[in-house]
Chains A and B, each alone.
Chain A
Amino acid sequence: MAEGEEKGRLQRRLLSLAVAVGCVAPVAVLILLSIATRWPAGQAWPAELTGERWGELFSGRGALLESLVLSITLSLAVATVSTAAGYLTSKAIAFSPHRHRLLLLAYIPFAFSPVILGTCLLFLYLRLDLAGTAGGVALAQTMFSYGFAVIFFIGFWTPQKQAYEELVYTLGGSTWTAYRRALLPLSRGLLAVGFFQAFLISWFQYGLTLLVGGGRVKTLPLKVFDYVREANPYYAALASCLLVLPPLVLVLLNRRAAPSFGVSR
């Protein structure tokens, strides 16, 4: 009995270790590659290591910092707009008598692939002088993440939430009070996750950005592919590290935010 339990515990530990290695190893390899100067084929470890590329990045000498700033700005803007708009739109849809029909519209961006939708939109964007601009890319990405946010938040708006809102009104509160004191605190955790997801949709977007941006809006995913095409694995690794780090930071923040959802006095 005790021997069986011990064996089970060992198996669980091994499994946990395997999962941890599986998650950490690719990032570790990327970091290692980003600081390697030579990594000859067949060798398990780079021949030489250097911090020069990272130094170059933060000194702003290369174009990578510009791409990083652009990607962060674009994704934060897209996530903020689509989370806020999706939250409010989903409320309007949830309590509308035409709920099912309206919700169907939110699924439309997902019925097409991003590239097909981008191709369709390109003509319109060219006419509006939005093609090849960061604004055009942000607008195109927002279409996707907004649709996602509407679908994501729709489940939050139950009759119970409506009752909370109405309760605030009969207690004497305004619409703003209802949001600030009741609805937003009730949906805080969900809003954080929704924002995070919307951020990721924009952050990793490649096809749509390439099409609408016409290759001129160099976000990080585009930069990674540029370096890969140039057969520059060290810079591609550095750009990939930058691509992976912000989502990791957000995951950690999300994990910290969840337990702090406590009771106020």
Chain B
Amino acid sequence: MTSTLEFYLINFMPYPYIPPGEDVESSWIVLSNQHYDPRIGHRLYQHYLETNVLAERLGFDGVLTNEHHQTAYGTMPNPNLPAAWVAAQTERIRIGVMGNVLNTHLNPLRVAEDIAMLDVMSGGRIISGFVLGTGMEYHSYGINPATSRERFWEAHDLIMKAWTEPGPFPWEGKHFNLPYVNPWPRPLQQPHPPVWLPGVSSLETIEAAARNRYTFMQVFSPRTALARACAMYREAAERHGYTPHPNQLAATLQIYVAETDKQARLEAEPHLMWFMRNGLKTPTYHLLPPGYTSTRSLRGILSSGSHGAVDMWDMTFDQLLEEKWALVGSPETVIAGLQEFTDELGAGRVVLCGDWGAMPRWMVHKNMEMLAEEVIPHFRPPDGKPVWAREERPAPHTLSEHAATVGKPKTAPLVRLDGVGLIDSTTAHVPELRTPVKP
């Protein structure tokens, strides 16, 4: 009996035309933007963005945008802009914004507004990620890492209140002070869009995700770390008195499928290694600026002795497979690996990268198509439908459905015309209807 699994495609838009990782201090913060040619960048954006449209046609459950700053690893500093593009170019697929890095915003109200706008524009298809961001974001944006967590949670509390409680209300906090919180629009999904918290096994983040019943999304890491994070989430949920649904756990796994195991390896290896050795090339002192992590977590990192984020760029392709950061092989191999993944983790959602950075377009498409045709159906009910095809969209697709289910607004746009009185401006251009609704 196979379990169900939702498939989310994440694109972070790397710019691969940079020197190899061994020749640079980092692909982040200080790698000169003179390596970036915006004409090439335009083509890359087109390529990356179009894979989201393809993902809907192929039947992925969702697509995810991403946020990083001042890096060749991901040229997507604003995750809401590509989400808007995808919302316009697709009909029904779920769109997750992973962003927003709340601490890059001077005013979190902007996030509440952007996500609400996207949710209304997309017909209620948005998943809202709230992210602490990597240590590099704090260097790049001048944000104080020593207050990063308290500021993050205050921003979170403000956004959630802005979405769920009637405005206007004042906010008097430590980091934010707003006399009027009253964002227009409000989100379409009620009480608010689903929230995901991406993180790297952080105790504090997992605990908060379980407490709020948010989906915890463990980012790219080895299977042992994924399993530990999922177990921590379940324990935390039990402490809060409930058993979590598998969908509350999303885990990242790099997946590549080809005709045979050998062929899959030939195609995947150079690209996964570009991702590891060049895209992710950054030293520990970039990853862990002072105050970014708690002393408790730091003790854990230092005494475990195992490689975590610390020396990812030194790993070999075989290590990546052995430690199950990645799953590369024939459809049979990948089906078996995914079955093991979901059995072992109890996770109901898998996140995979569309492009590791330097993959030719055909290779990205081949992987996606083989997944859709040969792998994904094994983790679906017999009809093979993605999650969005079995649920109603919060906003109807057509005007007739809208008229039948939502109807007319409760309030007519009344305006006083001199010499006439208070009229309904939607019909007052018709002479017979230009009559006062109230004397």
Same complex for A and B? Answer: no
